[in-house]
Structure formats: C-alpha cells, structure tokens
Structure 1
Amino acid sequence: MEKSYSYPIDLEWSREDMVRVIDLWRAVELAYETGIDRELFLKKYQAFKQVIPAIGEEKKWGREFQQLSSYSLYKVVQEAKTSTKKNIHM
C-alpha cells in the first residue's frame, strides 16, 4: 500500500530520536498491513518511550499518527502487551 502521509515528528528532536519514533510508526504500519514480530515491536516501542516517556505525550503523538494513517498505536501496544502470539497482525 502506498502511504500518502508524513510521519508525525518534532523537528527539535535529535536525528537519533527521530529515527526511533519513525521506526515505531513503521512498526505500527506493519502490524496492520502484514504483521510484525511481537518482541521486535516491543523493542521499538521501548526505544520510542525513551524519546516520549510521558503517557500524555504518547497519546498526543499516537492520536496525530492515527489521524494521518488510520492506524492506532494504542491498539497495537495493547495487543503486543497482552498477546502470547509470536506475531501481531491487526
């Protein structure tokens, strides 16, 4: 699927932080489009949390990403945390 939106990022973040956040957005896309290894997703989520540790900020960025892509960060995170399956596919 060709994506027709830009990833939400803060231009004041370091390049490394931008990469961590974009990696998570890609992981959320994969969870919806083809599936992703649950452990890999959780690692990417932990890296994201180093950039955005506050739950309020996470919700804000997650809502922005969902408005752009229609994919829910919250739903994928919940699935990853509660599932015992090796792969997540929304």
Structure 2
Amino acid sequence: MPSSAFNIEHQSEQSRFIININDDAAVLEYQLLDNNILDFTRTYVPFRHRGQGHAEALVHAGLAWANNQGFTLQASCWYVDKFLKSDS
C-alpha cells in the first residue's frame, strides 16, 4: 500500500515517523550515527492493526526522506533491512 494512503508524521525531535491509528500508533524509529549514517532501529505496529500496510508505508516514507537527505542507510531493524536488501 502506498505511503500516501496513510497520514504519516515525521517527528524529527523524537527521531521517528508515526501513523496515528485511533488511540494507537504505528512507529518507525531511527538513530543518526557518526559519518552521516542513519540507522533504522525499530518498527512497531499494534497487533490489531498488523497486516494492513502501516509498517511498509512507514518504511517507504522513512527511506524516501533519508535518501533525500543524503544519508548512508543501515537497519538494525529486520523489517527495514528487507527493504534495503531488495533495493541493492
């Protein structure tokens, strides 16, 4: 599902992207490391909202932003790592 299907908010002060889902939130967290390296550290989608494309939309939005910023990317999060490996 395209990221445009969700209202994704970049909260740069908290180093994360979120989608608010009623009283819940799906989250993609990252950490800026030395030498302009951005590490995507965690994705989380509340159990009852899984399988609806939230995590994938967050990853696409996060990767697009990071690439626009010129960061070197890595992922300690296994889910984001799948996307990085598929792009190489």
Q: Which has the higher contact order (CA 8 A, sep 6+)?
A: 1
TM range (shorter): 0.3 to 0.5
Bigger fraction of residues in helix: 1
Q: TM-score if structure 1 supplies the norm length? A: 0.36
Bigger fraction of residues in strand: 2
